[in-house]
């Protein structure tokens, strides 16, 4: 039986920002401080990036707010001890502050300060101990934060490594092949100067390094802890691709020097080395769980043959309470693995080299025994190995071949493109053109130049700069058409890229013509299952998808997939693209479960084959979020959109249009959640990007206009909504086929708008056009069709045509029950609408059943504590509550009846909002009503000194001119919540006007008895009242438990007979 491995991610994560250290000296007398004090820190200037001084707490606080990723060491002079509370708050609130040192002449103040915060390391009367303490924090940084990879699986395959290992290894391989000229080296030195621009000590060291570099080996400079040593450690520590590229010449030289020493040693001798470092608790816990797995170091690995030297690093690491000290004991057999290493006895800057052995990059070890030595100190046995994750090995081989190009610089630029580093790739391609632009017009040179032009176009295409990309593609095409035959494969590549640009620009006819040219050339020059056909098939599928022809799109996607699965490794990124395409088709056709299935397959491959911040991951997170959004799972949807945004925010050369897509989708979720102002802000961000990047008639811009229209409609700003809908319709009618699904959407939305405006005939005409388009599609999005049917039902209901309304509701419901989950909010909306139509059509039993079912679904969809549920349940004007209220008032039990005295106010509002809308809207009449009835509220319950001013009551009832049905409801409300005798009295007053004075007079004693008991501490239990059918049979008496209730019902039924 085979086992599937689950998602593989690095267990030991580091920031993507270079470690940056700042020392802050806070001293009110800084202007008078001895210069020797500040100069004392010169010994560690090469290890820090900035030394800042402040004499004012507020100025220091403002500076701290600007610090994002840097580690801060704060030195406070005791003159500030009177403000220790303020300072302590500042220290605790600023997470970038690593350690705090109090510099003063009074050691007795130690308890006064150190009790305040764990970050405060103590009271110091001299500078030197502070410098030593800071240096201890700085020295272990390389060991503690080295980038490593470790498996992370559930069905554990212990030979599986993180994909970042593969990409950093391929990058180093490319760099080792590059011949760096003097200009490239100068660029590296200039980069170092720019990076350390505010540190004069380091700038002097860079000058020395540049001038004397050729006089010493790279190992000598590396162990001297020169500025470039720090940059290399930072770069390889966090897989900082940009920085690795910038200082690549030194990485290459260091590897070559290690390799030179390695070639001279006896490789038959096994030996053991040690390494001490700190690991975060959580990371070490995961490490322990993977005994027997593979563990790799991405950078140059510094070790020692002396265990005590390694333990010194461990003890330094343990100074940080967040760290667990780890002593690695590494067994090395040079015959097993070919990773170069070098003993540094005669090569180091230091005469006593601490028995150091330096390994080149990407060493891999097998995790052996793990034993605890003492509290927060562990010993881990590692064995150097050449074992490799077999799937990653295959993938590495394929990616390496795809990147391989005419020169290492071309390979490097292609690698950066695959990493999503588009700006950096453009920079290198541009440099290639500049270096080789020597007026060479030979055919070979021009063809190579056309390839570079095509690649630059591809970079701009990936960044959403479509017109710039198109200009580069056309330059490439012009050269190739001049020097190559018309069926050459290179022409097919450019045709394909131009075709996809036109797709992005919304010109699908032109796009398809270019993509078909590509396929024609590929089929002539390749076998039917050749890998070069994958992109041709996929891209044609994408064009058909954009045209709304999902059947053809799926057909081409399947052709691409059949070639991929037979020719590519299981975790190749191209396979992820096919799964993503399948998911897109299922999503567009409303098959959300299938869409999620394929998007999940996509993300699994991408997490195993791409770096964690790759743009493709953001794209897939966006797609998954969109499915959950359409399924009504808004909280889950937002979480995935936020993951997409996190990645997009970290990408320097991000595609602004993809960012706009994420903004647009987040806006949609907030609209569905009723957060209209938030939704509006996101749509406005989207428009801002799209209007600056796309033509005014681009289909994507129209989509955003449509979404703006939906928000304005929800906000009841119908004029603005209509303006945006009309913009959308005009653009889509010009740019899309007449049967495109988007046109069905805009017709549906315009119908909904006219429905909201009360123009039901106009609304129905738009709905009918929407249905006509949807039914003509080869792939029908059944969920969208259900939405339109539901809207048609609403229009007919508003027109009083209840049979037609119920017919369309039923059509919508049948589709939704088939394609949506049983707890989807759309189901609740449709069933709620049916309940209202049943009630209006006097089908009360069906109305009750559908109303309660709608509430049930709403509970299931969001849970009882979700804000949407709370808003729904507390909204008295929601239609389902009217029906549930009717049921309650007619004496039928409902699990949603309001019986708690604290909900009395809700009940009153609900009743009057439906049955006395004028009274509900006119607050003064409500106040008059309550004043007349002497209604007051108190913590104990309802205070009701009932009426003894009979004439006032009668005048109020007459002035409201309540009809019999409304009065009956009012009286039932009074019966349930107030007083049964008052209920009967008012009923008789209205029904028997000629007898009212005598009736009221005859009941004075009963009323008087009520007045003696003004506080009602408990609402009377709701009695079982007759149903509507029973009300039509006045002689049929309902059996009740209470003799008082029987008496009241007899009087009630008598009153009905008198009225008739």
CATH classification of 580-654 is 1.25.40.10, yes or no? yes
Q: Nearest CA to 568 among 609, 523, 511? A: 609
Alpha carbons 1019 and 372: distance in angstroms, whole number: 67
Neighbours of 1021 (CB within 10 A): 9
Characterize the bridge pairing of strands 377-384 and 323-332. parallel
Nearest to 789 by CA among 1054, 781, 275, 962: 781
Question: 60: burial class by Cβ within 10 Å (0-12, 13-18, 19+)?
Answer: buried
What are the start-end ranges of the E strands in 566-658? none
Q: Which of 472, 538, 508, 516 minimizes the C-alpha distance to 698?
A: 508
Query: What angle do helix axes 466-483 and 443-462 make, rounded to 10 degrees?
Result: 160
Lay out the sheet containing 301-304: strands in order across: 148-150, 294-297, 363-374, 377-384, 323-332, 271-280, 301-304, 356-359, 341-343
- Angle, helices 782-798 vs 760-776, to 10°: value is 160
Domain range list for the chain: 21-141, 163-262, 271-388, 580-654
Fold type of domain 21-141: Rossmann fold (3.40.50)
- From the list 644, 640, 575, the residue with the least C-alpha distance to 614 is 644
- In tens, the pLDDT along 686-708 reads 998 888 877 888 888 899 999 99
Give the integer Cα–Cα distance in Å for 1051 and 983. 11
**3-state secondary structure string, 898-927?**
CCCHHHHHHHHHHHHHHHCHHHHHCHHHHH
* 3-class secondary structure per residue, 387-410: CCCHHHHHHHHHHHHHHCCCCHHH
For position 860, what pLDDT does the model report? 76
Residues 6+ apart with CB under 8 A from 765: 751
Is 187 exposed, middle or buried (CB count within 10 Å of its CB: 0-12, 13-18, 19+)? middle
Closest CA to 830 of 878, 785, 790: 790
CA distances for 603 relative to 561, 586, 596, angstroms: 17, 16, 10
Q: What DSSP designation does 824 have?
A: -
Whether the Cβ atoms of residue 571 and residue 395 lie closer than 8 Å to each other? yes
* DSSP conformation class of 1037: P
Beta bridge partners, 359, equal 301, 341
The CA-atom distances, in angstroms, between 999 and each of 171, 976, 993, 1052 are 99, 22, 10, 13
Q: Are 279 and 287 in contact (CB under 8 A)?
A: yes
Q: What is the pLDDT of residue 465?
A: 84
Residue 137's contacts (CB-CB under 8 Å, 6 or more residues apart) are: 73, 98, 99, 319, 320
Per-residue HEC secondary structure of 220-262 comes to HHHHCCCHHHHHHHHHHHCCCHHHHHHCHHHHHHHHHHHHHHH
pLDDT tens for each residue of 773-787: 888 876 676 788 898
Task: Count the neighbouring beta carbons within 10 Å of the beta carbon of residue 191.
Answer: 18
Report the candidate in 766, 759, 745, 732 with the shortest Cα–Cα distance to residue 668. Answer: 745
Rounded to the nearest 10 degrees, the angle between the axes of helix 980-991 and helix 950-960 is 60
Domain spanning 271-388 has what CATH number? 3.90.176.10
10 Å Cβ neighbour count for 732?
24
Burial class (CB in 10 A: 0-12, 13-18, 19+), 949: exposed
What DSSP designation does 630 have? Answer: H
pLDDT reported for residue 501: 92
Query: What pLDDT score does 387 carry?
Result: 67
What three-state secondary structure class fits 295?
strand
Integer-rounded Cα Rg, in Å, for the chain is 38
pTM above 0.75, yes or no: no
Cα–Cα distances in angstroms (integers) from residue 132 to residues 41, 135, 275, 538, in the given order: 10, 5, 22, 61
**E strand or H helix at 280, and its extent?**
strand 271-280
Q: Whole-angstrom Cα distance, residue 881 to residue 836?
A: 10
Q: Which residues contact 992 (CB under 8 A, 6 or more apart)?
A: 999, 1055, 1058, 1059
Identify the burial level of 645 via C-beta atoms within 10 angstroms of its C-beta, where 0-12 means exposed, 13-18 middle and 19 or more buried: middle
**Helix intervals (H) in 896-1021:** 904-915, 917-921, 923-932, 950-960, 964-977, 980-991, 996-1002, 1004-1011
Residue 360: how many other CB atoms lie within 10 Å: 22
Contact 703, 681 (CB under 8 A): no
Residue 987 tokens, joined: 């009923």
The CA–CA distances, whole Å, from 221 to 143, 186, 355 equal 19, 17, 17
CA distance 251 to 187: 15
Q: How far is CA 707 from the centre of its chain?
A: 20
What number of CA atoms fall less than 13 Å from residue 671's CA on the CB side? 24
Structure letter (DSSP) for residue 83: G
Where the chain has pLDDT below 70, the residues are: 1-20, 30-47, 49, 68-69, 78-85, 105-118, 136-163, 198, 225-228, 230, 233-240, 316-321, 351-354, 387-397, 436-440, 527-529, 651-655, 778-779, 781, 861-1060
């Amino acid at each position: 039986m085979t086992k599937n491995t689950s998602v593989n991610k690095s267990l030991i994560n580091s920031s993507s920002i270079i470690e940056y250290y700042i020392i802050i000296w806070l001293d009110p007398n800084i202007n008078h401080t001895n210069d020797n004090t500040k100069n004392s820190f010169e010994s560690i200037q090469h290890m820090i990036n900035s030394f800042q001084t402040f004499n004012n707490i507020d100025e220091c606080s403002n500076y701290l707010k600007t610090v994002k990723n840097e580690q801060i060491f704060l030195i406070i002079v005791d003159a500030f001890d009177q403000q220790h509370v303020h300072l302590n708050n500042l220290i605790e609130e600023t997470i970038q502050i690593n350690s705090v040192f109090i510099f003063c002449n009074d050691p007795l103040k130690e308890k006064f300060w150190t009790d305040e915060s764990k970050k405060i390391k103590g009271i110091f009367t001299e500078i030197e101990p502070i410098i030593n303490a800071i240096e201890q924090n700085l020295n272990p940084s390389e060991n503690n934060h080295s980038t490593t990879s470790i498996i992370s699986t559930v069905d554990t395959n212990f030979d599986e490594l993180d994909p970042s290992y593969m990409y950093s290894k391929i990058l180093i391989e490319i760099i080792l092949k590059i011949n760096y000229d003097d200009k490239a080296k100068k660029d590296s030195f200039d980069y170092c100067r720019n990076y350390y621009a505010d540190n004069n000590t380091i700038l002097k060291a860079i000058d020395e390094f540049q001038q004397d570099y050729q006089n010493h080996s790279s190992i000598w400079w590396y162990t001297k802890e020169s500025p470039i040593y720090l940059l290399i450690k930072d770069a390889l520590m966090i897989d900082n691709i940009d920085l690795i590229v910038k200082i690549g010449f030194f990485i290459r030289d260091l590897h070559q020097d290690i390799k030179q020493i390695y070639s001279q040693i006896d490789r038959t001798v096994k030996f053991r080395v040690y390494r001490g470092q700190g690991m975060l608790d959580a990371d070490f816990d995961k490490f322990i769980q993977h005994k027997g797995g593979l563990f790799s170091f991405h950078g140059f690995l510094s070790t020692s043959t002396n265990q005590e030297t390694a333990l010194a690093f461990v003890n330094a690491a343990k100074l940080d309470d967040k760290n667990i000290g780890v002593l690695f004991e590494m067994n090395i057999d040079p015959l097993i693995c070919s990773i170069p290493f070098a003993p540094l006895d005669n090569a180091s800057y230091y005469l006593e080299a601490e028995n150091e052995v330096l390994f080149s990059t990407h060493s891999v070890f097998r995790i052996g025994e793990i034993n605890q030595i003492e509290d927060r100190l562990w010993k881990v046995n590692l064995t150097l190995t050449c074992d490799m994750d077999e799937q990653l090995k295959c993938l590495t081989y394929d990616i390496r071949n795809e990147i391989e190009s005419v020169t290492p610089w071309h390979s490097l630029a292609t690698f950066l493109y695959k990493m999503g580093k588009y700006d950096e790739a453009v920079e290198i391609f541009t440099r290639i053109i500049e270096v080789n632009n020597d007026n060479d017009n030979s055919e070979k040179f021009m063809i190579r130049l056309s390839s570079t032009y095509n690649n630059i176009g591809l970079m701009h295409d990936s960044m959403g700069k479509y017109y710039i990309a198109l200009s580069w593609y056309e330059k490439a095409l012009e050269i190739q058409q001049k020097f190559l035959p018309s069926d050459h494969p290179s022409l097919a590549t450019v045709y394909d890229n131009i075709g996809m640009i036109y797709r992005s620009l919304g010109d699908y006819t032109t796009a398809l013509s270019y993509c078909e040219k590509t396929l024609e050339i590929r089929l002539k020059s390749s076998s039917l299952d050749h890998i070069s056909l994958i992109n041709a098939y996929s891209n044609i599928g994408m064009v058909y998808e954009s045209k709304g022809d999902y059947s053809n799109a799926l057909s081409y996607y399947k052709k691409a997939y059949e070639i991929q699965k037979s020719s590519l490794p299981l975790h190749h990124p191209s396979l992820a693209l096919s799964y993503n395409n399948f998911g897109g088709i299922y999503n567009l056709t409303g098959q959300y479960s299938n869409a999620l299935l394929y998007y999940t397959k996509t993300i699994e491959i991408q997490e195993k084959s791409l770096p964690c911040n790759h743009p493709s991951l953001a794209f897939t997170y966006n797609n998954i979020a969109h499915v959950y959004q359409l399924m009504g799972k808004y909280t889950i949807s937002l979480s995935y959109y936020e993951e997409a945004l996190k990645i997009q925010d970290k990408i320097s050369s991000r595609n602004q249009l993809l960012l706009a897509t994420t903004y647009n989708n987040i806006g949609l979720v907030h609209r569905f959640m009723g957060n209209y102002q938030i939704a509006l802000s996101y749509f406005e961000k989207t428009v801002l990007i799209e209007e600056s990047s796309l033509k005014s008639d681009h289909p994507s811009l129209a989509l955003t206009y449509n979404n703006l229209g939906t928000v304005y409609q929800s906000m009841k700003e119908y004029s603005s909504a209509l303006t945006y809908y009309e913009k959308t319709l005009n653009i889509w009618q010009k740019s899309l086929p007449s049967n495109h699904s988007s046109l069905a959407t805009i017709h549906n939305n315009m119908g909904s708008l006219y429905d909201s405006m009360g123009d039901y005939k106009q609304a129905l005409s738009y709905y009918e056009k929407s249905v006509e388009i949807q039914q003509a599609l080869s792939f029908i999005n059944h969920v969208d069709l259900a939405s339109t049917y539901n809207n048609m039902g609403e229009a007919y209901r508003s027109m009083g045509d209840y049979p037609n309304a119920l017919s369309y509701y039923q059509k919508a419901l049948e589709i939704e029950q088939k394609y949506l989950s049983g707890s989807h909010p759309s189901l609740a909306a449709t069933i709620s609408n049916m309940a209202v139509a049943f009630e209006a059509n006097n089908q009360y039993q069906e109305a009750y059943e559908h109303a309660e079912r709608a509430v049930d679904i709403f509970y299931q969809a969001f849970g009882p504590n979700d804000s949407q549920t709370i808003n729904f349940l507390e909204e008295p004007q929601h239609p389902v509550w009217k029906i549930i209220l009717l049921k309650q008032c007619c004496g039928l039990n409902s699990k949603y009846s309001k019986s708690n005295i604290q909900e009395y106010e809700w009940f009153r509002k609900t009743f009057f909002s439906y049955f006395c809308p004028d009274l509900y809207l006119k607050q003064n009449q409500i106040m008059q009503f309550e004043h007349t009835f002497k209604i007051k509220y108190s913590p104990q319950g309802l205070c009701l000194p009932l009426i003894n001013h009979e004439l006032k009551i009668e005048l109020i009832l007459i002035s409201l001119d309540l009809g019999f049905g409304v009065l009956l409801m009012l009286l039932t409300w009074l019966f349930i919540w107030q007083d049964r005798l008052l209920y009967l009295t008012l009923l008789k007053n209205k029904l028997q006007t000629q007898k009212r004075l005598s009736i009221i007079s005859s009941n004075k004693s009963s009323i008087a008895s009520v007045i003696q008991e003004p506080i009602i501490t408990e609402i009377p239990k709701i009695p079982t009242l007759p149903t509507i059918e029973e009300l039509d049979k006045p002689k049929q008496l309902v059996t009740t438990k209470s003799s008082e209730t029987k008496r009241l019902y007899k009087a009630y039924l008598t009153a009905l007979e008198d009225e008739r």
